[in-house]
Structure 1
């Protein structure tokens, strides 16, 4: 068998293989970079999560702060303080008013869960699966032994210690989140300016404009999710009040919290509501409750979200499910909560950087004070003790915090004043 000789000048490796190899090592580097970033975030989660919560709170409270500034003529610091205190007062009032009922309701909810387990066990023993009672009791005894033996006891003790540590982390994180929220509301634009000015000169304006569009997307997402969660909680809570009045408030709160995990959270909390009604009132009531849950979720998915989010958060439902699943695998419940807003912002930012502007009405007329290098001193023939001053283009003073506002184009430059000192 003869081998055909390679023609002079021809590459021995086919072009398709070389292209695949080039893509492969680049994808590997990108994967390693993503893994390194995720690992670093997991190590710093006590700081990263509160800062992320602070960003969401700042986006949520900023319209209230702007309203107080515009209509009541309050200074920015006072408007921020009033916004934060109002938010905290509402949260504390809701917890204080409903706290006792919530505690009692979740106790009843636990009792209903136990009753539901007994009912499911009875169905497994007498239903089509024909799993014997002795076999089920054996499984239950194995679980009990796992919890009561030495290993199980040590696991429980370790879990208690871990819970105490978690409570400490939650308190520290709450303080960090409140502290960062205050400063994001007071001087968010100044913080953003400092971050952008760390980049090379040629990339600053592009990154700034992409960031403005990311903030618009995040604002739309936060406002919509809060409203959607309220609608879901009210609808399912009112529906469950006809069947389990004592558990209507706990179920409403559970649905409200779960709705912040798009699609998955609504499905899981809706199933829990149906199961609770099934245990308490039977199959007919459970089917009616299922119809209520489906109706509320259809109104949410086909009316509220398209109307409120529109073009701002354009993620396909398949992408949302995959993002939530990936976030859950990577960071548990925290990943599930933050994965969709992060994906929505990244989608908007990457589209803009690649030439697709989802918000052309914003334009590019909002510039940060970009620092330019002045000419070298020897070329000017001036003393190194020459003073510098800032010169700003004509126009109204910029908003110190609004990265998405429509203000006149301005750019700060440094100019030598020519006075030897």
Structure 2
């Protein structure tokens, strides 16, 4: 008993020490973790190429080349459109300021009986310049330049990490099967089948959710962008794209998109209630398409969480890991749900849950059967043992009055 306890303490101490070392090496470990998940996402596509008969290195190269071409084409066609939308937004700012000064602020003043206000851009610029000259000396400027230089070095480091991740992912994919076999050999033999079943279910849920969520983001962005362009909003394309990408976090895409669309509508059309109604209609249609078409057909019930649990998962992810935590909150929640489901099944089958032990005996043969939630035991007795057992039972049933009468 003491040896087993010490062994468990030693194993737990080793795990804690390993996690602490990984935490200290977080800047080094993060690229490898990202590369591992990148390899995990693209490994099914590589396997499809390998089934055709291509070498594994060539299959991986084709996948990466295809991803690079797709990203290049997307950037080639999207950047000019986004730039045009940004120029339209820039030109709309003076118009919006003029509308605020001539329409909105007088309406606020007359409605709430307050002193009239006006946005003076030249006065605001002079205030900013005075603040900079007053609060920032030559030493502050030197510190700011050093900060900019440090930021530049950080940017170079981030760029190097971005280049390093695909290279690491390539080598992960090259040794993917060997790495999986090595991980499989670490599983204790008695728990191999159950562990692999849990891992396979997590893999199925996670893969289906990631692919479905990616398609939902793209199609929802197309719906929003098309609808906003059709109602005449000049920056509708960029707003729809941002709303679609932000929908990776539940409810964030809808919130960001509708707020940005309402602001853009005010800047472009002023107080036009019909345009505001059209913006609301576009986003209501987008929510209906997402809720009744995209989510059921592309995602289904892959996570198994209620809307309240989804919000809690996103907020918990944001609290624990910031924006990155919000991005990975739902996939992690999907895996946790699978693990909790298996843990509940294990608990319900354990003696702690109160499963009864059923002992039955066959009177003819004398065999004994023991049934529990985990095992079924049949005990077969030889005829002599069975006869002696029956004789013992019969003698135990004789009453004292019968012995006295005899």
TM superposition score normalised by structure 1: 0.63
Q: How does 1:79-228 map to 2 (within 5 A)?
A: 79-112=59-92, 123=104, 126-127=107-108, 128=111, 132=115, 149-150=135-136, 157=145, 160-161=148-149, 163-198=151-186, 204-228=192-216
Structure whose alpha-carbon radius of gyration is higher: 2
Q: 1:87 to 1:129 in 2, by over 3 A?
A: farther
Structure with higher RCO (Cα < 8 A, 6+ apart) = 1
The CA distance in 2 between the partners of 1:39 and 1:145, in whole Å, is 50
Q: Note if contact 1:147-1:153 (Cα within 8 Å) is conserved in structure 2.
A: no
Q: Does 1:346 align with 2:328?
A: no
How far off its partner does 1:112 sit? 4.1
The CA distance in 1 between the partners of 2:21 and 2:314, in whole Å, is 18
* Higher mean displacement: 242-251 or 120-129: 120-129
Q: Does 1:69 align with 2:50?
A: yes
Q: 1:134 to 1:330 in 2, by over 3 A?
A: farther
Q: How does 1:342-381 map to 2 (within 5 A)?
A: 342-355=332-345
Which is helix-richer, 1 or 2? Answer: 2
How far off its partner does 1:322 sit? 1.9
How far off its partner does 1:130 sit? 6.0
How far off its partner does 1:176 sit? 3.5
Residues 332-362 of structure 1: CA deviation (Å, up to 9, x unaligned): 3222212221221222233234438xxxxxx
The CA distance in 2 between the partners of 1:64 and 1:217, in whole Å, is 17
The CA distance in 2 between the partners of 1:266 and 1:277, in whole Å, is 16
Q: Note if contact 1:216-1:312 (Cα within 8 Å) is conserved in structure 2.
A: no
- The CA RMSD over aligned residues, in Å, is 3.9
Q: Does 1:278 align with 2:266?
A: yes
The aligned length equals 321
TM superposition score normalised by structure 2: 0.65
The CA distance in 2 between the partners of 1:322 and 1:260, in whole Å, is 15
Q: Note if contact 1:243-1:285 (Cα within 8 Å) is conserved in structure 2.
A: yes
Q: Note if contact 2:244-2:253 (Cα within 8 Å) is conserved in structure 1.
A: no
The CA distance in 1 between the partners of 2:28 and 2:94, in whole Å, is 35
* Higher mean displacement: 291-300 or 180-189: 180-189
* Higher mean displacement: 74-83 or 265-274: 265-274
- 2:323 corresponds to which residue? 333
How far off its partner does 1:80 sit? 1.7
Q: 1:250 to 1:190 in 2, by over 3 A?
A: same
Q: 1:156 to 1:249 in 2, by over 3 A?
A: farther
* Higher mean displacement: 290-299 or 93-102: 93-102
Q: Note if contact 1:328-1:336 (Cα within 8 Å) is conserved in structure 2.
A: yes
- 2:402 corresponds to which residue? none
- 2:8 corresponds to which residue? none
- 1:310 corresponds to which residue? 300
Q: Note if contact 2:227-2:282 (Cα within 8 Å) is conserved in structure 1.
A: yes
How far off its partner does 1:295 sit? 0.9
- The 3-state SS of whatever aligns with 1:302 is helix
How far off its partner does 1:95 sit? 0.7
The CA distance in 2 between the partners of 1:273 and 1:155, in whole Å, is 39
Q: Note if contact 2:224-2:244 (Cα within 8 Å) is conserved in structure 1.
A: no
How far off its partner does 1:292 sit? 0.8
- The 3-state SS of whatever aligns with 2:345 is coil
The CA distance in 2 between the partners of 1:68 and 1:130, in whole Å, is 72
The CA distance in 2 between the partners of 1:38 and 1:343, in whole Å, is 24
Match among 310, 325, 341 for residue 320 of structure 1: 310
Match among 292, 298, 302 for residue 288 of structure 2: 298
Q: Note if contact 1:59-1:222 (Cα within 8 Å) is conserved in structure 2.
A: no
